[in-house]
Amino acid sequence: MPAQLRPTGIPASGVSDDRNVAGDAVALTVFSTVRRWGLLELPLFFLVLRKAPRSLTTLRRLSFIQSARWSLLREIPYNGPPQPRVTLRHPHLYFESNFNGGWEEYIDAFSFLLTTGMFGFWGSSYGFPWALPSAPFKAYIREHAYTASHYYSAYPEATATIVQQALELEPKVRALCDQAPDLSPAEFAVAWRRTLNEVQQCL
């Protein structure tokens, strides 16, 4: 959730504000103003992505990305009285992401691996400089980035890959523990080696 209604500006060093950091996890929030044709282009682009999930394969392979979400906003979310309803004069693209590692490398991955996709998301935004070369794109993201007012990560030291491997590993270790009391030492040794072979990719 953005803390304030003005860009905080990510320093030229690429190091994010401390409030955007939890362990090795980093939050990135970007608002950009969308041209009117984006009201047609973005919903169609989102629909294509939902209907063709394979188009997101490259993005999903970037294991340092914990999550990434783009939303098209036409009004400020309403939380009830006394907050007034506010319709934005121009639609805005809201991008929020959590990732591990350096900010520079994160934007470089978007620029070089998802070049066309970046146009799909930000092409209708005012001032979008294209994803390549990456330096103007980084400057664009810095200019439109906001600091999170609250940021929490349940596993701040873990990448998405580590969490996925732990989820896959846990039931297999649990099954071995359940069997252990009924196994002789020799049988346990066999079961232990079999389990290790099965979970090598998780270790």
pTM exceeds 0.75 for this model: no
Interval 180-197 mean pLDDT? 90
Q: What is the pLDDT of residue 16?
A: 54
- 9 alpha carbon, distance to own chain's centre: 19
First-to-final CA distance of the chain: 35
Half-sphere exposure of 23 (CA within 13 A, CB side): 13
With bands split at pLDDT 50, 70 and 90, how would you rate the model's confidence at 9? very low
Hey, how many other C-beta atoms are within 10 angstroms of the C-beta on 122? 27
Report the alpha-carbon distance of residue 114 to residue 119 in Å, rounded: 9
pLDDT tens-digit profile of 84-106? 999 989 999 999 988 887 888 88
The pLDDT tens digits of the residues spanning 54-75 come to 777 777 777 788 888 999 999 9
- Rounded distance, CA 100 to CA 27, Å? 9
Mean pLDDT over each residue of the chain, to the nearest integer = 83
**Burial letters for 127-138: b for 16+ Cβ neighbours within 10 Å, e otherwise?**
ebeebeebeebb
- Residue 42 pLDDT exceeds 70: yes
Q: H or E stretch including 69?
A: strand 65-75
Q: Is the separation of the CB atoms in 25 and 98 below 8 Å?
A: yes
